[in-house]
Amino acid sequence: MAPGDVSVSFDPTFDESSPLLGGTYHLNPLFGSGGQSNTNDVSVITLDSPVSGVTPARLPTLNYLDTIPLKDQRFTAVGYGTVREDKTKGPQTLFFDGQRRYADQGFRSLTGSWLNLSMNPSVGSGGTCYGDSGGPHFVGDSNLIASITVTGDRWCRATDVTYRMDTASARNFLKDFVTLP
């Protein structure tokens, strides 16, 4: 494999029998240059061959999240990362099994580059964990990607910090790979 080569799968379970599609990753050249207010933490994988049977997700318009009422908006996180099924115990309850999962999340706050979501199970939210980075956060049950997973709290149970896909900086990078709305 050459530098930049990667493989991806669209299977609901990821294991050694999952069919892998080859591609190349493209890191945002501004990654890490904007400090904590804007890490430019977004990259793209271009696949070597077209894929059939998969509906592409949609990207939002410029500043979309600034135009919708967020207080009661729900978001859906999707990923293959580690899982926490028990909210009362520590790190021994984290495990990885390769299953693609989703979690419903509530809104916490919005900044210029970040959409912060609740992962607190006590208020009906789930979230992401180790290994989910780069995964989408859809607006409700739509296929519109509001943001992507970047980080959260240590034990994956309070705050999900996600990078907005509707900002000028994210769109400036993405425009070289996709047609933006």
Q: What is the rounded distance in angstroms from the CA atom of residue 61 to the CA atom of residue 18?
A: 34
CA–CA separation, 4 and 23 (whole Å): 8
- φ/ψ of residue 78, rounded to 5: -130, 140
What pTM was estimated for this model as a whole?
Answer: 0.89
Q: What is the pLDDT of residue 141?
A: 93
Split at pLDDT 50, 70, 90, the class of 75 is very high
Mean pLDDT of 29-48: 91
Residue carrying the six token digits 């910090």: 161
Radius of gyration of the chain from its Cα atoms, rounded to whole angstroms:
16
Instruction: Walk me through the domains of the chain, giving residue ranges and CATH numbers.
Output: 5-54+168-174 (no CATH), 64-164 (2.40.10.10)
Convert 107-121 to b/e letters by CB count within 10 Å (16 or more is b): bbeeeebbbbbbbbb
What are the tens digits of pLDDT across the range 127-149? Answer: 888 888 889 999 999 999 999 99
| Distance separating alpha carbons of residues 40 and 24, to the nearest angstrom | 19
Question: What was the pLDDT predicted at 168?
Answer: 97
Over range 35-39, report the average pLDDT: 88
CA torsion through residues 35, 46, 172, 151, sign: negative
What would the mean pLDDT of 52-68 be, rounded to a whole number?
A: 95
User: CA–CA separation, 148 vs 134, rounded Å?
Assistant: 5
**Residue 90 scores a pLDDT above 70:** no
Q: How confident is the model at residue 2 (pLDDT cuts 50, 70, 90)?
A: low
d(CA 177, CA 181): 13
The encoded tokens of residue 46 equal 């271009």
Greatest CA span in the chain, whole angstroms? 46
